[in-house]
Amino acid sequence: MTAFVPRAAALLPELVALRRALHRDPEVGLDLPRTQRRVLDALDGLGLEITTGAASTSVTAVLHGARPGPTVLLRADMDALPLTEETGLEYASTSGAMHACGHDLHTAGLVGAARLLAGARDRLAGDVVLMFQPGEEGDDGAATMIAEGVLEASGSAPVAAYAAHVVPGPAGRFGTRRGTLMAGVADLRIELHGVGGHGSRPHDAIDPVVAIAELVTALQVMITRRFSVFDPVVITVTQLAASDAINVIPETASLGATVRTLSRAADERVRGEVARLATAVAAAHGCRAVVEFSADYPVLVNDDAEADWAHDVLAETFGVARSTIAPDPLMASEDFSRVLEAVPGAFVLLAASPADADPAAWNHSPRVRFDDAVVGDLAAALATLAARRLDRAAG
């Protein structure tokens, strides 16, 4: 199946062209009509069974192999971020949205895998479900597609699922690991209710601003005292809101934070600890706290055997120097975790920095750049994993 690598290299110019067209015209959230159109056009003529989403602009394409067999699922996310691009690239977006997480490469890579697998249909015993997913960046697009039946799209539940994500690092190097690869995430909002008043007379008011200021640092202290460093938790407060007027003590002050955990147990416990702390800090100042957790993605857990196997297949396909074991999980999050809760599989990272990249510009930076020279190998990697997994199932 290493034959996919040279064939992917031949496809590279058209995959790069697709990636750049997507990059120039990014769309955010669950509704990506122009992106969906490009994917449908690129898949046209490959003989795939295609359905599109109702609750989102997802695309599910089923490739039936020449002989019957099990199903393997491959997934790419397609959405961008609401961010003004500052890369200065010739094909940079100017719309105020940006493919700053590389989902444009993932989409082009999965289109490439579809082409490679369609060309190898005669050799395939089983089906491959290609899951083109909107709304990864906080909209739980994977859950939307699962609810609409992507895991039953071929008529049988997948025996394995794979996806890849570009990250900064030396271009072309793959990495995965057993067990937890990415964090679970929850959005946290805390509102403190006090009594507003004149800025000159704080003694007549109950000022929620001083209370929320104390809470921001108290949350950091709580993390270090209540959670083991070996089961880490990150809380980063990214939003603060209080009075609109400089001379008015507001009735309420609020914060927003992102919460990351590497285990279900820590995720469950952090909710209780945060509520207890917010209630107590608020009470110390005479305020009342309202705590709300939402929009959570579960921890992304690779199947041990699938991760080992994917690592071996990538080493065989691209050389041992290019298939690594990721030493640590990432505290970033991914809703492919939803698929991996239902299907054993592996999520794979693919380093894709150009040689002159700024190491400080990580995913989600307005300056991050990814080298689309890796897109051919991404396509070959996904196609190889699917084809080899079907071979393995056939014995």
Binding site for Zn ion (CB under 5 A): 101
Closest approach, Cβ 97 to Zn ion, in A, equals 14
* Nearer CB in complex with Zn ion: 8/142: 142
Closest approach, Cβ 83 to Zn ion, in A, equals 12
* Nearer CB in complex with Zn ion: 25/127: 25
Q: Tell me the β-bridge partners of 132.
A: 59, 76
* Nearer CB in complex with Zn ion: 98/101: 101
* Nearer CB in complex with Zn ion: 25/335: 335
In this chain, which residue has its C-beta nearest to Zn ion?
A: 101
Closest approach, Cβ 162 to Zn ion, in A, equals 16
Closest approach, Cβ 165 to Zn ion, in A, equals 6
For the chain, what is the radius of gyration of the CA atoms? 23
Closest approach, Cβ 40 to Zn ion, in A, equals 22
* Nearer CB in complex with Zn ion: 101/326: 101
Closest approach, Cβ 124 to Zn ion, in A, equals 29
* Nearer CB in complex with Zn ion: 116/351: 351
